[in-house]
Amino acid sequence: MPLFAFASIGSILLNVVIILVSLMLMFIILIQRGKGGGLAGAFGGAGGSSAFGSKAGDTLMKVTLYLAAGWIFLIMIHVNVAKGDANSGRTTTIVDAPAGG
């Protein structure tokens, strides 16, 4: 049985979009400066300066929040699409039981 035997095109596309948003979210989180310096100071990074300017922290925080909200929304949509795929892939046959058993 193929891996995507019961997956619709919408479900596969949602998987790809969710993976892309997840990778962008990881990248955005990793380039942010931590409140306490974090690992940037341990590896010789400047603790008080930002590579993207002084207001970049606020912008990166907003982008992170929007990406996270979008990721959660996409996951909720994907759950509903996957439920529909699972229900359409099943075939139920009802067999009448003989009377008197």
Residue 72 lies in a domain: yes
Residue 58, class by beta-carbon neighbours within 10 Å (0-12 exposed, 13-18 middle, 19+ buried)? exposed
Residue 76 lies in a domain: yes
Q: How many domains does the chain have?
A: 1
Residue 95 lies in a domain: no
Residue 40 lies in a domain: no
- Give me the pLDDT at residue 35, please: 67
Q: Is the pLDDT of residue 74 over 80?
A: yes
pLDDT digits (tens, 9 = 90+) for 4-59: 556 788 888 999 999 999 999 999 999 887 765 544 555 555 555 555 555 666 78
Rg (CA), the chain: 23
Residue 2 lies in a domain: no
For residues 64 and 23, give the distance between their C-alpha atoms in angstroms, rounded to a whole number: 12
For residues 46 and 37, give the distance between their C-alpha atoms in angstroms, rounded to a whole number: 9
- Give me the pLDDT at residue 50, please: 55
- Give me the pLDDT at residue 22, please: 96
Q: Is the pLDDT of residue 81 over 80?
A: yes
Domain containing residue 17: 9-33+51-88
Place 75 in a pLDDT band, splitting at 50, 70 and 90. very high
For residues 92 and 94, give the distance between their C-alpha atoms in angstroms, rounded to a whole number: 6
The count of C-alpha atoms lying within 13 angstroms of the C-alpha of 37, restricted to the half-sphere facing its C-beta, is 8
Residue 60 lies in a domain: yes
Residue 70 lies in a domain: yes
